[in-house]
Amino acid sequence: SPNYLLIFLVLQELEIDYSKYEHPPVLTVEAQAKYVSSSEGALSKNLFLKDKKHRYYIISAMVDTKVDMKVLSQRLGLGKGGIRMAPEEALGELLQVSLGCVTPFAVVNESARDVSLLLDKNFKNQARCIFHPLSNDVSISLNTAGLDKFLKSIGRDSVYVDLEANANPAVGKDQPPDLALYVPAASVVVPELSNKASSIQTPPTKNATSEIIKPVASAKPSKPAGNVNSVSANSVSLEFKNPEKFVEEILNRTSALLLSEAKGESVEALPGTLRKRLTSELTLLAIMYKNTAYTEGFHAGKNYKPYRL
């Protein structure tokens, strides 16, 4: 999904601490566990559910948390069998993701504005939790504070729920459905798809993905696919010291913005020749900026008067 980069853009803008791991595409938590070790954080299982009135829910939980669909349905006030897995078309249409990719981050999409997001309260006990950032060949780890900050920035309040409470509710006058308030106000119509021509509905093609991933990957020295890569915040300081890295960052973010604005239409990031010319001109500007800042510091250092003791 073109919005894949948008997630990183927002995380960086908000200065949320996170780590990024690239790996082959994974469709299950078991597969993901092969590439991202438990020392990096708690893996999550993510369910995309739908009720009979076409209202949609993302349930994001710890792998060990038992999610009983019947209980959940009752707690939502939907009766015993009121909730089931959402069809695959809805994944693409509403969440802009492919199979194996359901994630809390999906609510960043405008198309997901009516999707209810429920988070396992057990996440709060974890140092970090692991989710996909709209792409199943990347994983992110971050803590709940970071996730909350992210969600807040897009106008969402985080909802943490004890998914294992009320194992056997007798929903009635004395025990009202406690999650009922999280049922979306609006239902969503996902149009029946006769063909999958539109790029919005289909999972991203291999080419498109590699085009999109390129700007971000080139910013880091690590290789995509095959290895577990952890990109820590140490690379940030080099952006502010090295004019070339600084310019690379600027152009990557510009690319990301251009892509996110395009919203799924086939728009290339900055064309190669344009980027090359911009790089050379911007680098000279960046060096002059750095030299000017240094000169001011130099002047300050020369004229600095130490405090008298």
Partner 1 sequence: MVVDKKEEIDSESSEQVVNPWEVSVKDDGRIDYDKIIDKFGCQRLDESLIDRVQRLTSRQPHVFLRRGVFFAHRDFNEILDAYERGDKFYLYTGRGPSSESLHLGHLIPFMFTKYLQEAFKVPLVIQITDDEKCIWKNLEPKDSKRLGRENVKDIIACGFDVTKTFIFSDFDNVGGAFYKNMVKVGKCAMAIYGFSGEDSIAKISFPPVQAAPSFPSSFPDLFPGKEKLRCLIPCAIDQDPYFRMTRDVAPRLGYNKPALIESSFFPALRGKNGKMSASDPNSAIYVTDTAEDIKKKINGAVSGGQDNKDDQNKYGANLEEYGEGRMLTGEVKKRLTQVLTEMVEKHRRARAAVTDEMVEAFMAARPLPSMFE
Residues that bind partner 1 (CB under 8 A): 241-244, 281, 283-284, 287-288, 290-292, 294-296, 298-299
Check if the beta carbon of residue 40 is closer than 8 Å to that of residue 127.
no
Question: CB 227 → partner 1: shortest distance, Å?
Answer: 19
Nearest to partner 1 of 121, 275 (CB atom):
275
> Whole-angstrom Cα distance, residue 201 to residue 56?
17
> Whole-angstrom Cα distance, residue 18 to residue 33?
18
Nearest to partner 1 of 153, 283 (CB atom):
283
Nearest to partner 1 of 210, 292 (CB atom):
292
Question: CB 262 → partner 1: shortest distance, Å?
Answer: 29
The helix-helix angle for 4-13 and 243-262 (nearest 10°) equals 130
Nearest to partner 1 of 54, 290 (CB atom):
290
Nearest to partner 1 of 121, 245 (CB atom):
245
Nearest to partner 1 of 235, 283 (CB atom):
283
Q: Say which residue the tokens 């020392």 belong to.
A: 39
Closest CA to 21 of 1, 38, 45: 38
Q: How many residues does the chain have?
A: 309
Question: CB 215 → partner 1: shortest distance, Å?
Answer: 17
Helix (H) or strand (E) holding 48: strand 42-51
> Whole-angstrom Cα distance, residue 239 to residue 232?
13
Question: CB 99 → partner 1: shortest distance, Å?
Answer: 37
Check if the beta carbon of residue 100 is closer than 8 Å to that of residue 26.
yes
Question: CB 248 → partner 1: shortest distance, Å?
Answer: 12
Q: Say which residue the tokens 């939907």 belong to.
A: 78
Question: CB 161 → partner 1: shortest distance, Å?
Answer: 48
